[in-house]
Structure formats: C-alpha cells, structure tokens
Amino acid sequence: MVEADHLIGSRLGSDVARRFLASVSAGVFEVAYLTPGLLRRAVELNDRYADLDLGLVDTALMAIAERHELSILTFDFRDFRATESAKGPWRLVIDEATYARYSAPA
C-alpha cells in the first residue's frame, strides 16, 4: 500500500492518491499482509536475485503474487522481467508497450 500510494501520488497527483487511500479504508481493495512464510519467500527471492538489488518492497510483492497467483501492476518492467516466480514469468497487468502508448506525451 505504501508503494502504491507513492506511485499514484507521484504519477497522478495527491488528489488521486487520497482517493485511493479512502477506497482502501472503505474496503474497496484488500490489503495483503506479509506473513512469516511470505517474508521468508521474499528473502529467498531477494537472495536469489541479489545482483538486481530488488529490496523488500518488490520481493514482498513477488511473494504475495506468487502465493495467491495474482497479476502484478508495476512500472518497473526491468526487474520483473529479469525475475520469475516458481511457476515462470510474472503475469503483469500492463506490459511495456501498453505503458509506453499511454504514458507518451500527446
């Protein structure tokens, strides 16, 4: 949630970030908690891909997505393309080409 708040605020503005947080507090989105098992998996992923210097936020997201078979919404395509889950490449909500098409200046 911290990462989403930061990205939404920096890319879409503080008004959108506040609406996102209000929707989370209203139960529109489910907050995932890092259990001890998920933390262990995040540490494993961080160790496995130590050369990428991923950090806890990305590896925790990976562990949660892997455990619950979720797609990942990210703009950090480099790291998520350079790694994979136990079942193969991460499923991303948006790919690089789509992101480029919608983020390019009009």
Residue 19 and residue 27: Cα distance in Å, rounded?
Answer: 12
pTM reported for the whole predicted model: 0.81
Q: What pLDDT is stored for residue 106 in this prediction?
A: 62
Tell me the domain boundaries of the chain: 1-30, 32-106
Provide the 3-class DSSP secondary structure of residue 40: helix
- Kindly report, residue by residue over 6-63, the tens digit of the pLDDT: 888 998 899 999 999 999 999 998 888 999 999 999 999 999 999 999 999 999 999 9
Residue 11 and residue 74: Cα distance in Å, rounded?
Answer: 13
Average pLDDT over residues 59-86: 94
How far apart, in Å, do the first and last CA atoms of the chain sit? 30
Residue 58 and residue 24: Cα distance in Å, rounded?
Answer: 20
CB-CB contact of 83 with 90 (8 Å): yes
Whose structure tokens read 């503005």? Answer: 13
Residue 23 and residue 17: Cα distance in Å, rounded?
Answer: 10
Spacing of C-alpha 33 from chain mean position:
14
